[in-house]
Structure 1
């Protein structure tokens, strides 16, 4: 008599082994880059400074303590800020003491000696009421981030030759300077990336003709050409038209170098196995460029953008110093530096060099951010 084998039931059936996924395998490319970027101290400092610069530029009217166009005493020195009250006691509320003549004279030069006027203190604080303005040109308000609680003007960085507050003009001028840099870099990035990928991927005659044109653009001496083109604009041209001309010329002369770099990256990627496999299965050129080549080139482009912005800021400041970038009534850091063209003025009123600090901070912030991104992106 044959024995019957037991039929396996659900209780006796062996369980399938559970597969556990490692947390590292679930990280996306952006998370990997961010995890490495956080380790860069200079990169994080640059990121914080860039974020602050953008916030200040967007809400420039709120952060400016005074009206940047309001005239007062010419070449007034910076007011003295102290946490000591007029009676000498310590105070949590800071005070500003205007700088004025003390009534005494220098025994050598016989020039009047200036110092803080302790008899006329001005209380300072956050969210102070000032001259009315329209935030974003729409919202009427008079609230300032920091300023005088008594409604009196306080010049933290002094005034220029027309008596306008330098700090307020520097904050408001960040809009124009950063806007020029961002618009120029955006145009050059789009054009340079498109031309570089097209030239490197298609190759042949297309690559040859595009590279000859790129070499022609790179051969132009940019500064003399820009000054020659700027001199052709009539003096009566409006500020907005002149500003548009600045952006167009800077963008037209700045895309060629990036296109050359992107072309080199594309030539290397076109020979990678997964790109050749996509070609073999009949993928269209558009799909190969957008899905395979562009994402791999994008990391280099992002780093190039962060390093190109300070270059444009410096160029705008230099051209504005020469009077070929921004015209009044617009405000930019380069335009503010025109007051420093006279050495005797710098020696007598050194605070008019304050716009240099805005340029230095901006250049350092974007360079530090670019270095941190380069270190975070390259290993992947």
Structure 2
């Protein structure tokens, strides 16, 4: 460990994280530590890809999510071979169907790849019309069939709609709900926690009793009770706004308690006491001295709270209390898995779970990497 004199005389200081120049910012040091976390980098890449796909969902969806085809159609298979069996760089999509052969024991028809008339595919193909970013007319899709025939890489639901396309489009609603709820809970929880911890005294006691009251509520029954207050005939946007509001009202208390505990310790540090001694206002002390020091914890809490909201939305959507048609979300898509007979006969109906698992893994990996990089101790 270099002494203060050595640090003053050398332009570079060797720390436990390697050599660093004295003029590096805190963000640079955090990014350097974060890059050393493989799982954190994987989470960052996945989160970036999910955000890009959700923003340009219509472009990445190979099919119109409302187009009805054969109900409960099994997933198609992509193969890099033509009908003659020769290798080709242009992939073909082969449906799963009756091969014309029978099991010699049970005499049941066998299913497999139907190679009679495969569907050619390609990138940047013409397909269903849509509006890119909600106002630019377009009909170009990132991937799809070149002859206009439907492709269902994850199969279809009970109405014959492509599950993959609906999952990509549904990422908008699911991620939008998560981001909106986390934004509201972060703002309210941070303001209440910092104010309560900094002012202290009787005000802090009353605020914390109210926080205890909110935390004591059994959230799931309250979610169901509050969302059931909206009439079934209410517009989808009104119902969605109310669901976001309910989740935000019940989700800010835990972050408030965490921020308050950090504020209580920061309020006793010397530079905060010095700011009070020189006559700094409470708002300046909170915004310039306390908030920057709890910001690292808030950032980590955000990345770890988003997957929790995604899981909650999926669960409520499965029960029918989150999103109403014609909107699409992952939870709403899981309503088709309500019976064991459907799952046993058509297991690809569970495909929306894949989207939820990837999202939860990505944000948890990103949050763990940020937590280690921001606070290595």
Structure 2 length normalisation: TM-score?
0.94
Structure 1 length normalisation: TM-score?
0.93
Gaps of 5+ in 1: 1-18
Partner deviation per Cα, 1:230-272 (whole Å, 9 max, x = no partner): 2222111111111011100000000000000000000000011
For the residue of structure 1 that corresponds to 2:268, the secondary structure is coil
The match for 2:251 is: 254
Question: What stretches of structure 1 move > 6 A for 4+ residues in a row?
Answer: none
Partners of 1:186 and 1:98 lie apart in 2 by 43
Q: In structure 2, do the counterparts of structure 1 residues 364 and 249 end up closer, same or farther at CA, with 3 Å as the change threshold?
A: same
Partners of 1:96 and 1:333 lie apart in 2 by 25
Give the conservation status (yes or no) of the 8 Å contact 1:98–1:120. Answer: no
- Answering whether residue 258 of structure 2 is matched by residue 268 of structure 1, we say no
Aligned length: 363
For the residue of structure 1 that corresponds to 2:125, the secondary structure is strand
The match for 2:278 is: 281
Partner deviation per Cα, 1:285-341 (whole Å, 9 max, x = no partner): 111111110000000000000000000000000000011100100000000001111
For the residue of structure 1 that corresponds to 2:196, the secondary structure is helix
Q: How far is the alpha carbon of 1:111 from its aligned partner?
A: 4.3
Gaps of 5+ in 2: 1-8, 13-19
Task: Give the alignment's Cα RMSD to 1 decimal.
Answer: 1.5
- Answering whether residue 156 of structure 2 is matched by residue 159 of structure 1, we say yes
Partners of 1:103 and 1:255 lie apart in 2 by 60
Q: How does 1:1-380 map to 2 (within 5 A)?
A: 21-22=11-12, 24-106=21-103, 111-379=108-376
Structure whose CA Rg is larger = 1
Q: How far is the alpha carbon of 1:33 from its aligned partner?
A: 0.5
Partner deviation per Cα, 1:16-74 (whole Å, 9 max, x = no partner): xxx87436211001001001000000000000000000000000000000000100100
Give the conservation status (yes or no) of the 8 Å contact 1:218–1:256. Answer: yes
Partners of 1:308 and 1:279 lie apart in 2 by 34
328-337 or 224-233, which deviates more: 224-233
Q: In structure 2, do the counterparts of structure 1 residues 339 and 108 end up closer, same or farther at CA, with 3 Å as the change threshold?
A: farther
